[in-house]
Chain A
Amino acid sequence: MPTRQKVVVLLIGFSIFFTIIYLVREKKLKEEYSWLWLLVGTCILSVSLNYDLLLFFTELTGAVLPTSTLFFFGLVSLVLICLQFSIRISQLTEEHKKIVQKIAIMDQELEMALDVKRKCQVPLEEESPVQCSPDSHQGESLRS
């Protein structure tokens, strides 16, 4: 590998590596999402420092040029990172759904409790006593 190419790849590898470490340190990136990026950075560094390793992988994959191997593994890494994000987004969507449903139900319960409280605070002229419990409807229809 020509020295100029080596320097460029090394610079890119180190930049990725240190940016990720910096982001994790600053709590801008969670460790959970950093490992795959770090793995990609480490791979780029290893391959650029050890040209024989790149040649080995080129032969292993049946590629003609070592640069094709680099592009190939770069693409595979990006696909894996995207897949990890998709899995996480799916989990977050499910959690988000549960939180939204819970908030909607709790909000209604709170409103009902406040309503009962308000009724309890009404002066004694009320003819029928109001059962002052937010759970007073449990087990029976609200309209019966």
Chain B
Amino acid sequence: MKVLVILPAFNEEKSVGLVVKKIIEMTPYDVLVVNDCSEDGTAEAAKMEGAIVLSHPVNMGYGVSIQTGYKYALKNSYDYLVQMDSDGQHETKSIFTLLGTVESGECDLAIGSRFLGGGDYSMEPLRKIGQCLFGGIASKISKKEFSDPTSGFQAMNRKVIKFFSSDIFPCDYPDADVIIMAHFAGVRIEEVPVVMYRNKTGKSIHSGMKPVYYVFKMFLAIFIILLKDKSSFQKKFNQN
């Protein structure tokens, strides 16, 4: 059984090495760092600790970085994939919890929820509102409770890796829209309690004016998904 842990990274020189080291020490899995054209020594720090490093020649953003990881996993015949942040927010031990849920066949995609597990995670009020709003929409549509739709700590099987490697994957802030799309495609999704810590660097993909665009994009993406023919998602997911 081949498992790949992917870490999208942009200017994470200080933390990525430590995260890779921890994963390599604690798990037997391959670690892939997708370096999104960092200006610091992210790639070198990751390589030094034994990670496979893919470097984008230009900065493409979080969504494209994780999709590069999916494509690499698909090309190199990995059976399972775990994605997590490279800033040390996600507890390495939780990899086993996430992966275990997918490996057991309970689901195709396991999403780690910071609100179901332990950890010292607390959120800014604005993010909390967005989280509740889009989590609520995703829960309502899929008729399944989602407490943490923005979680980047996930595990998936090969079928989902293939589905997310296709053009259908929204690389622009993949969040609640991915959950809704996956639900319509017939992907079995489970939320699993994981441990997450507060981001100490304060860096976020939701900084500056981005939250405004994020809210607009998410509403539009969800609306478009609802307008689309649901069987097209199923066809894509069940394609061999």
Contact = CB atoms under 8 A, between A and B. Distances in A.
Nearest to B70: A101
A103 B76 contact: no
B214 interface: no
A52 interface: no
A144 B55 CA distance: 24
A104 B68 contact: yes
Contact of B57 (A100, A137, A141, A142): A100
A107 B67 CA distance: 16
Contact of B34 (A103, A104, A142, A143): A104
A97 B30 contact: no
A97 B34 CA distance: 14
B29 A104 contact: no
Determine chain B's interface SS by DSSP, over half rule: mixed
Contacts, number: 54
Interface in B55-87: 55-58, 60, 64, 67-68, 71-72, 75-77
A100 B60 contact: yes
Contact of A100 (B58, B75, B77, B167): B58
A1 interface: no
Interface residues of B, number: 25
Nearest to A94: B167
B28 interface: yes
Nearest to B60: A100
A107 B34 CA distance: 12
A137 B78 CA distance: 11
Contact of A107 (B28, B30, B55): B55
Interface residues of A, number: 17
B167 A141 contact: no
A105 B68 CA distance: 8
Interface string B1-17: 01100000000000000
A101, A105, A107, A108 pick with most chain B CB within 10 angstroms: A101
Interface string B22-39: 001000111000100000
A143 B3 CA distance: 10
B225 interface: no
Nearest to B32: A108
A141 B71 contact: no
A143 B77 contact: no
Contacts of A94: 167
B28 A142 contact: no
Given A138-B76, A141-B29, A97 B54 contact: no
B107 interface: no
Given A104-B55, A104-B68, A142 B30 contact: yes
Contacts of B58: 100
Interface of A: 94, 97, 100-101, 103-105, 107-108, 137-144
10 contacts: A94-B167, A101-B56, A103-B56, A105-B54, A105-B72, A137-B76, A138-B77, A141-B2, A141-B29, A143-B29
Given A100-B68, A105-B68, 9 more contacts: A94-B167, A100-B56, A104-B55, A105-B71, A108-B53, A138-B77, A139-B77, A141-B29, A143-B29
Nearest first, the 7 closest Cβ-Cβ pairs linking A and B are A104-B54, A101-B68, A142-B30, A141-B2, A108-B54, A104-B56, A100-B56
